[in-house]
Chain A
Amino acid sequence: MALGIGCSSRPGKAGNNKTGSWRVFKPIFDHDKCTKCGMCKTICPEGCIEESEDDFFIPDETYCKGCGICAEECPSDAITMEQEEK
């Protein structure tokens, strides 16, 4: 893989590691209850919740580890955790 001067690694290469495979529970976002406050995006330790074009929030399942912080902290209870079948 390409490295920088002094064998330093390129910035932001952690994305190669698809941490979504760690997940047991998957967050399900209910857009009817969502008030678009953006709390989930602010507090996600993975930084994997993106804002879609219509201002709703969507988790990136490639990286979501299923920790459930978003579901716990959502002020309008719009996120539920469901066990995932793989």
Chain B
Amino acid sequence: MAENSCELFDSGHRACGGCGAALVSRLLLKATGKDVIIVSATGCMEVFSTPYPETAWKVPWIHSLFENNSAVASGIEAALKKQGRKEKVVAIGGDGSTFDIGMLCLSGAFERGHDFTYICYDNEAYMNTGIQRSGATPYDASTTTSPAGKCSKGNNRPKKDLPQILAAHGAPYVATASIAYPSDVVKKIEKALNTPGPCYVQIHAPCCTGWGFEGEKTLAIGKLAIETGLWVNFEMENGVVTRVKKVVRKPVESYLKEQKRFRHLFKPKINAEEIAKIQAIADKNAEKYGTDLKLKSKSGPVVP
């Protein structure tokens, strides 16, 4: 286990107050310790942590483009292997870089089987450039390129299931986590680092600016996503789901009504039809991963 008492991610970075991605970077460096090389794609995290010449990272860090993040990480990993060095290589990118633009290089690096860890901080849109939809944007979320209005109910496509795609590449370890559970994030990153081969951890990082909620609610919103079944925390080893975070599920409204990006589902009047579709997505998630916790009542019989 890495020595994680010292702070390797400096204060003074330019993230919004209450930023989920900033917490991801801190937790990442808690898990890796100082013997690591970070490859960072373009995105919010790159922009807020490294306006030249002031970097928040106290470890070796290289910036790549949106699209070639995994290719740069592959090259570094191959060079370190040739030199017999033991540093870990971690590539980190947002959902835009991971799900859309960097998909080609990510798929290539996983297929070639490089020994590195890819972290995706998933804030469910291109936040850095002003909240455009990405492949990770959930169904019905309003963004600047999928605005809700008279003819549109927001993003009309469901979220891409990237963990399954990468597991299908034969990745030995694929996991999803949420910053609402910080020690779980650290544990999963450590496990990914210590698993040989390409590993992937997707971390749900609520974005107060892009999703439209107060900064102090960042972790509470993350928790609600899990409690409603719209985000599932699981671990997959060699393509098999081995661990799932179980919850007593709440209706999806409790998650949706907290965020401005779903406001059009409640105002001017409640759009029950669309909310039912989102509830169906949550039900499907719960069924697929078996997240529903069965509570035993005191008198004996099992109630859902």
Contact = CB atoms under 8 A, between A and B. Distances in A.
Interface of A: 1, 3, 7, 9-19, 22-23, 42-48, 60, 62-63, 65-69, 71-73, 81
A18 B54 CA distance: 12
A16 B18 contact: no
B29 to A, nearest CB: 9
Given A11-B57, A16-B54, A65-B18, 13 more contacts: A9-B54, A14-B56, A17-B12, A17-B14, A22-B17, A45-B26, A46-B22, A48-B11, A65-B16, A66-B17, A67-B16, A67-B17, A69-B215
Contacts of A15: 10-12
Nearest to A60: B11
Contacts, number: 106
Contacts of B217: 72
B12 A45 contact: no
Per DSSP, are chain B's interface residues mostly helix, strand or loop, or mixed? loop
Contacts of A48: 11
A12 B57 CA distance: 5
Interface in B1-31: 7, 9-20, 22-23, 26
6 contacts: A12-B58, A14-B11, A15-B10, A19-B12, A47-B10, A72-B217
B18 to A, nearest CB: 4
A72 to B, nearest CB: 4
Contact of B55 (A13, A42, A45, A47): A13
Interface in B184-225: 214-220
B182 A42 contact: yes
A73 B23 CA distance: 14
Contact of B54 (A7, A14, A22, A67): A14
A75 to B, nearest CB: 12
A45 B18 contact: yes
A47 B11 contact: yes
Contact of B20 (A18, A45, A47): A45
